[in-house]
Structure 1
């Protein structure tokens, strides 16, 4: 148990980012919600759930000026007061770039800290030499790192960034919320930001190929992002306006309902031209828990949870023909579709249940608290 009166500080970027459900899960679930927040931005104060929040802008002119004149980091001074007021006993930074903001003050105060890596912070961003240098300094002071996939841990290691306590813990899925239910055999679903590493245009192209053979199929895409305009244009060019529906960003309850109803889930994750890649996509974990058959890519951490032809179908990145063929397999072979979906559901319940994964993280946190100095020095 967390010592009486002590809180866990969840540090993040924009607390209100719709797609980052894992941050709110940590706030609400870790140690029964005994948490406070440090965030760069909160556009919806309700996302904090009434918890204390310390806002800090990233690398402001004030911070640069203070550093230049030797006045110290104003973020650190504010955090010292915040940590003392709310008895912060542990810091969990949700992304690598967030961790680099707080690791020094955490060390100075004797507060244990872990940093989570989830995707671009352990792929694309590693091309930045200054970011790598900041991570190297952070790795020397914090108590451990957590990656959502072994592939991200290996990416870090390839750049000389290793830590003796390196945990692989996916974000996980609420298996009480994403549940198997009777399926609409014609409904195909895709969920995620409309950005290059999700390659939504490839999903639309592959669906168009399959739709010519299976005119009853329809595709719903939930998400928003920079490629929305291009997606709308391509749907119109392919004459799929009545069969492919862009639903925009939706809340988690809506996604859970559509995921349970869909028979097939599509996601064509790729390494973007700038090096950006996934960790283990949350939506794929949710599809598995909902008993929805998955066709996706041999990308990043996806093969760590999907075994080809056992719990889903995987194709090479950018192979639109194979992707369309996989969709057709699932659409035309109910026996295969149901076998893969059932196996995926069993795997999700056994290995991706967020309650079990949070318990692993809590044990690591408690071990760190026990091994380190008192919560913070005066």
Structure 2
């Protein structure tokens, strides 16, 4: 079994459970997680600048310098390659890969290639400055780039990433964990997404407000948090649906799984944000389909690659709350249709997105580099 390094600047994050899920399903590679800040212990080998850095001085230094010397045990590692998640992390992983003289693989997920570099600059975060300053170096020095959807692949090409280095590869979903369950006694639409502009939660709230009178027994449950939380709370009051919408905040993976199994419909009205920020392919949509529930979403980014319109769910135009309301109404009114779409959605996930199949394909990518 070969050893590989998986680089994530801050790890683990609740919203990125897929990174650990992917690692758990590796059969021929043993991962060592490399990070600047390790938030908690993980069930894998790990090396972090934050270890024995109580004042955070070394972490701040690494953010500024990218120096691999700040990793105490890095010299003793026997890694075949480094796999970095997200573009900025790829930039930080370059010196590590060079020090160890091993290939660097970088996965692009969404914002890291869709947000304009001017908008990234305005965010005022130093790691974004590092991406902007060193992006051409990243294009030259990384061995391969993984795009999580064909949409992201095209975005990489637009920004002049080398075509011969780009591999389109879907992140898998655990179809043995995310399985259909018994519907809850309460009827509800489920939405899981951070409170950011690209998630289009405001559009979903407007759509839901249009059908509440027709489905008085149906509620909307929303899981997530973010910088638009107060705005969304206030919108439910303006629309007079605050008593019909439950905001649960961020929730653990297991809670989300149980909510999916009990839901009647999953909805996510993703859209392109003003700064260009787009989804890559929201894994939560695939998890919902694997649970056998129909999905209503948008013709946005890689979502049409995972939702078969009219077959496993419905897709509407971005910011189209009228059509979104119509599709939600249709599924709530015809529960047999929803069950049929949900069954087909699960079949499609098992065919195209099963995590074991997809991780095996990922390991084949590793084989080609190590």
TM-score between both structures, scaled by the size of structure 2: 0.89
Say if 2:139 and 2:161, in contact at 8 Å, map to a contact too: yes
Say if 2:66 and 2:92, in contact at 8 Å, map to a contact too: no
- Structure 1 residues 246 and 193, CA, compared in 2 at 3 Å: closer, same or farther? same
- Structure 1 residues 12 and 60, CA, compared in 2 at 3 Å: closer, same or farther? closer
3-state DSSP class of the match of 1:213?
coil
1:51 matched to 2:45? The reply is yes
- Structure 1 residues 74 and 216, CA, compared in 2 at 3 Å: closer, same or farther? closer
- Structure 1 residues 180 and 281, CA, compared in 2 at 3 Å: closer, same or farther? same
Which residue is equivalent to 1:41?
A: 37
Partner of residue 15 from structure 1, selected from 11, 21, 26: 11
Correspondences of 1:300-319 after superposition (within 5 Å): 300-319=301-320
Structure 2 spans left out of the alignment, 5+ residues = 51-55, 122-128
Which residue is equivalent to 2:150?
A: 150
1:113 matched to 2:109? The reply is no
Say if 1:296 and 1:315, in contact at 8 Å, map to a contact too: yes
CA distance in 1, matches of 2:266, 2:369: 39
1:226 matched to 2:218? The reply is no
Deviates more, 1:306-315 or 1:334-343: 334-343
3-state DSSP class of the match of 1:190?
strand
Say if 1:107 and 1:141, in contact at 8 Å, map to a contact too: no
1:77 matched to 2:69? The reply is yes
Which residue is equivalent to 2:53?
A: none
3-state DSSP class of the match of 2:14?
coil
Correspondences of 1:219-258 after superposition (within 5 Å): 219-258=220-259
Deviates more, 1:97-106 or 1:262-271: 97-106
Say if 2:236 and 2:242, in contact at 8 Å, map to a contact too: yes
CA distance in 2, matches of 1:284, 1:365: 27
CA distance in 1, matches of 2:294, 2:94: 41
Say if 1:15 and 1:23, in contact at 8 Å, map to a contact too: no
Deviates more, 1:318-327 or 1:14-23: 14-23
- Structure 1 residues 341 and 61, CA, compared in 2 at 3 Å: closer, same or farther? closer
3-state DSSP class of the match of 1:114?
strand
* Runs of 4+ with deviation above 4 angstroms: 56-65, 125-130
CA distance in 1, matches of 2:239, 2:298: 23
Correspondences of 1:275-286 after superposition (within 5 Å): 275-286=276-287
CA distance in 2, matches of 1:283, 1:92: 22
Say if 2:49 and 2:58, in contact at 8 Å, map to a contact too: no
CA distance in 2, matches of 1:85, 1:11: 16
3-state DSSP class of the match of 2:237?
helix
Q: Please give the root-mean-square deviation of Cα atoms over the aligned residues, in Å.
A: 2.3
Per-residue CA deviation, residues 9-47 of structure 1 (Å, 9 max, x unaligned), is: 11113213211112222343334772222223233x13x
CA distance in 2, matches of 1:123, 1:327: 29
Per-residue CA deviation, residues 130-158 of structure 1 (Å, 9 max, x unaligned), is: 63562332222222111111111111111
Structure 1 spans left out of the alignment, 5+ residues = 66-72, 370-378
Tell me how many residue pairs correspond in the alignment: 355
1:94 matched to 2:90? The reply is no
TM-score between both structures, scaled by the size of structure 1: 0.87
Say if 2:32 and 2:44, in contact at 8 Å, map to a contact too: no
- Structure 1 residues 58 and 165, CA, compared in 2 at 3 Å: closer, same or farther? farther
CA distance in 1, matches of 2:260, 2:196: 21
- Structure 1 residues 117 and 207, CA, compared in 2 at 3 Å: closer, same or farther? same
